[in-house]
Amino acid sequence: MRKHIIAGNWKMNLTPNEAKALVEELAPKVQNSNCEVVVCPPAIDIQAVSEAIKGTNIQLGAQNVHWKENGAFTGEISAKMLLELGVKYAIVGHSERRQYFGETDETVNQRAKYALTSGLIPIICVGESLEIREAGTTNDFVSKQIVAALNGFSGQQVQSLVIAYEPIWAIGTGKTATSQEANDTILAIRNTIAKVFGKETAQNTRIQYGGSMNAKNASELMAMENIDGGLIGGASLKAEDFATICAVASK
Ligand code: 13P
């Protein structure tokens, strides 16, 4: 059984004090969740959040991670630094990083590989643009992204990480994929994993949906067989809404 995982990607929002206040509000609301509950604050907030979540069931994720342990990489953060603060997950290859910060399939692969071998669990993001969706080549496109991101991994490694399918046109637009569209694309991703790593690995790998998931549409999305959770942007900044999504994923 794949345990549902709900992760909040706070993106570039909230100061350390605001971040602390949000998790303090969130903690009692999600204490009975039967899914994994993860928050991914901006790097500068991680220390404050790490302290605030002690003794709760909220887990910590980063929004990015580098592929080396240390060195001359201005502005980057290593797995070792994150692990010292109790970080368990790291988002890798978010479309905003690909679009605005030159992230490529190759750097996504390097980051994910190093994160995993260092002891972090990467949440690898893939997803198509509106142009690709309208051209009808979504499954091909995301399958290529997945194969590239997982290049050099073992099946055992693949089933220990998390994939997030986030159609770019659904991110921050209020326009979510229909539950059927999301499920179908996630199934295509699972089939690609099956082809490369075998059926069992594909069955065990958790694949989230992300893109305008909120307290209202979460139950329809979470009811789909292939959707194993959500990567939540805007709605993760409101404790009430994020807790509602976690409750839905706990069923
Ligand atoms: P929204 O939920 O704001 O659409 O963002 C989704 C996302 O990009 C999560 O990583």
pTM over 0.75: yes
**C-alpha span between 50 and 60 (Å, rounded):** 7
Residues 5-249: name the CATH superfamily.
Aldolase class I (3.20.20.70)
98 touches ligand 1 (CB under 6 Å): no
**C-alpha span between 134 and 130 (Å, rounded):** 6
Mutational test site, ligand 1, from 95, 166, 168, max ligand atoms within 8 Å of CB: 166
176 touches ligand 1 (CB under 6 Å): no
205 touches ligand 1 (CB under 6 Å): no
**C-alpha span between 16 and 48 (Å, rounded):** 6
Whether 94 is catalytic: yes
Active-site option among 94, 96, 103, 128: 94
Atom number, ligand 1, closest to the C-alpha of residue 96: 8
Residues 6+ apart with CB under 8 A from 243: 26, 29, 30
For the chain, the structural domain boundaries read: 5-249
210 touches ligand 1 (CB under 6 Å): yes
The two tokens of residue 217 are 């549409």
231 touches ligand 1 (CB under 6 Å): yes
Tens digit of each residue's pLDDT, the chain (251 residues): 899 999 999 999 999 999 999 999 999 999 999 999 999 999 999 999 999 999 999 999 999 999 999 999 999 999 999 999 999 999 999 999 999 999 999 999 999 999 999 999 999 999 999 999 999 999 999 999 999 999 999 999 999 999 999 999 999 888 888 999 999 999 999 999 999 999 999 999 999 999 999 999 999 999 999 999 999 999 999 999 999 999 999 98
234 touches ligand 1 (CB under 6 Å): yes
Atom number, ligand 1, closest to the C-alpha of residue 235: 2
Contact 126, 163 (CB under 8 A): yes
**C-alpha span between 186 and 2 (Å, rounded):** 14
Residue with tokens 């630094």: 81
For residue 172, how far is its CA from the centre of ligand 1 (angstroms)? 6
Whether 166 is catalytic: yes
